[in-house]
């Protein structure tokens, strides 16, 4: 079973990182995780997640990636939250 730790180790061993640039988005294609695009549109992210897509969120001042596991849509987008799997921090959602 894949975990953040095993995927990170796989990336290290399979040229998944670039010096000065971080993660290589196409490096996980062989794992069946194919990068499609970047989006900052919450409505689009909710829709893509509901359609079964895997969504990675860039959080903590754009210094950390997490896997989206769900969402709760509030009365406004500002009241909505993204539920996540974040093994590095004791948190399970981000606004």
Q: Is the pLDDT of residue 20 over 70?
A: no
The whole-model pTM stands at 0.76
Judging by beta carbons within 10 Å of its beta carbon (0-12, 13-18, 19+), is residue 41 exposed, middle or buried?
exposed
Q: What per-residue confidence (pLDDT) applies to 13? A: 92
CA separation for the pair 36, 29 (Å, rounded): 11
The domain limits of the chain are 1-35, 36-95
pLDDT in tens, 21-80: 678 888 989 888 888 888 888 899 999 999 999 888 888 888 888 889 999 988 887 888
Cα 24–chain centre separation: 14
Average pLDDT for 79-86:
90
């Amino acid at each position: 079973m894949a975990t953040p730790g095993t995927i990170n180790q796989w990336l290290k061993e399979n040229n998944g990182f670039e010096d000065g640039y971080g993660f290589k988005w196409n490096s996980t294609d062989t794992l069946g995780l194919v990068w499609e695009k970047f989006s900052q549109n919450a409505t689009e992210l909710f829709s893509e997640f509901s359609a079964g897509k895997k969504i990675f969120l860039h959080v903590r001042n754009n210094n950390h990636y997490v896997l989206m596991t769900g969402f709760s849509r509030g009365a406004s987008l500002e009241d909505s939250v993204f539920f996540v799997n974040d093994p590095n921090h004791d948190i399970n959602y981000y606004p």
